Amino acid sequence: MKAIVHEGNTGVEGLSIREMNKPEVQGNNIRVKIHTAGMNRRDLAVITKRHQPEDPALIPGSDASGVIEAVGDKVTRFHVGDEVVVNPGLGWEKNSEAPPEGFEIVGLPDHGTFAEYYVCTEDHVEKKPEHLSYEEAGVLPLAALTAYRALFTRGKLEAGQTVMLPGIGSGVLTYILKFAKAAGARVIVTSRSKEKQIEALKLGADVAISTNDDWTTALSSESVDLLIESIGQATFNKSIATVKKGGTIVTFGSTTEDEVTINIRQFFYGQYNLLGSTMGSAEEFREMLSFVRRHKIHPKIDRLFTIDEYKQAFEYIEETKNFGKIGFVL
Ligand SMILES: NC(=O)c1ccc[n+]([C@@H]2O[C@H](COP(=O)([O-])OP(=O)(O)OC[C@H]3O[C@@H](n4cnc5c(N)ncnc54)[C@H](OP(=O)(O)O)[C@@H]3O)[C@@H](O)[C@H]2O)c1
């Protein structure tokens, strides 16, 4: 089968298109003929952190939609021909405070979805929401699951609250915008790009400002209950300064840098809540899919690539050109 493979050099230099063995199915495994494999910033992080020339060949990619084309003899939930989405989380079944020991994400350390076929156990796929095309369903899993946990499980968003989303170009944040509007919240976004601010308003955001603005001045008449922070060092202190006293910041990313210095006295006097979040459990994955079905939510797709265009795709995400999701159509 044809696949995007990473080996030898760090980063995009180590990527190539190769013929790999089509994976076998047995027992409770199913094989998915992949239609669309969504791309996430994690894919860039994976190929960037593999430094050793002796690291084994790896197919990256965590997201996919497709059709089941083979099932093992112990499979009970699915049949050949079923349309499915892949859950990118491995080893986190039930809802819990944090991922359990041994939790992994599809695409590292084992092969991922940037290939014609993907094999996993039957409990790692779910039925594709009927209102979504394969393209839409293929860019859903990782980012929409992360969005769901950050906004609802951790952020406990309620109708009527105001939520703020710095860096709305993010694939995850376009889901959070749609989920928050569906839940009856007011949504404020920021972007460095004027075009992305306008796009966000078209998607339903109530207010859009520049990431480079002074947020407290620009939002002097707003009261932000919940702020979802995924940019990290570049915006973290602005986020604390903007959320209302006693308000909550949920963080699941640090696209700029991990290390942040904060004024702890201002933080505790402000009575702020700071919560970490990640992807979620298989249970949350199913809750997210039923929320998407119930509210007929469609992912915001920015651009789809063929796998031969892998260099352009990785550069596109590295340069944060995207507004919403990108992915490969196999
Ligand atoms: N913990 C987890 O389980 C988990 C799961 C998913 C994602 N993540 C993390 O969450 C983050 C978002 O993921 P994603 O896939 O949605 O990323 P993405 O699509 O690449 O979006 C990142 C966004 O961050 C903003 N940004 C980037 N550099 C910036 C800078 N220097 N200053 C200000 N804003 C900047 C940009 O917004 P504008 O272009 O609008 O300015 C950009 O669109 C990443 O750090 C990712 O690793 C973590």
Please report, for the chain, how many H helices and E strands are present, in that order.
10, 17
pLDDT value of position 115: 98
pLDDT value of position 171: 94
How far, in Å, is the centroid of ligand 1 from the Cα of 282? 23
Residues of the chain with CATH 3.40.50.720: 156-276
Q: Tell me the C-alpha to C-alpha distance, in Å, between residue 56 and each of 8, 12, 60, 262, 285.
A: 8, 16, 12, 40, 30
Strand partners, 29: 121
Q: Which atom of ligand 1 lies closest to the CA of 317?
A: 20
Both structure tokens of 307? 């796998």
Q: How many CB atoms lie within 10 A of CB 158?
A: 12
Pocket-forming residues, ligand 1, beta carbon under 6 Å: 40-42, 142-143, 146, 167-172, 191-193, 196, 211, 230-231, 234-235, 252-256, 278-279, 317, 320, 322
- Closest protein CA for atom 18 of ligand 1: 170
Name the burial class of residue 136, with classes exposed (0-12), middle (13-18) and buried (19+) by CB atoms within 10 angstroms of its CB: buried
Phi, psi of 61 (to 5 degrees): 110, 130
- Per-residue pLDDT tens for 77-109? 999 999 999 999 999 999 999 999 999 999 999
Report CA dihedral (115, 117, 119, 124) to the nearest 10 degrees.
Answer: 80
**318 and 326 Cβ atoms separated by less than 8 Å:** no
pLDDT value of position 55: 87
How would you classify the pairing of strands 65-71 and 83-86? antiparallel
Asked if the peptide bond before residue 23 counts as cis, ω within 30 degrees of 0, the response is no
How far, in Å, is the centroid of ligand 1 from the Cα of 76? 38
How far, in Å, is the centroid of ligand 1 from the Cα of 294? 27
How would you classify the pairing of strands 65-71 and 2-6? unpaired
User: Superfamily for 156-276?
Assistant: NAD(P)-binding Rossmann-like Domain (3.40.50.720)
Tallying the residues shown for the chain, one arrives at: 330
Both structure tokens of 107? 């695409």
Q: Which atom of ligand 1 lies closest to the CA of 105?
A: 3
How far, in Å, is the centroid of ligand 1 from the Cα of 218? 22
Q: Which CATH number fits domain 2-142+280-329: 1.20.1340.10, 3.90.180.10, 3.90.1150.10, 3.40.50.300?
A: 3.90.180.10
Residues of the chain with CATH 3.90.180.10: 2-142+280-329
- Closest protein CA for atom 32 of ligand 1: 234
Residue (of 133, 118, 122, 5) closest to 63 by Cα position? 118
Low-confidence ranges of the chain (pLDDT < 50): none
pLDDT value of position 51: 75
- Per-residue pLDDT tens for 101-133? 999 999 999 999 999 999 999 999 999 999 999
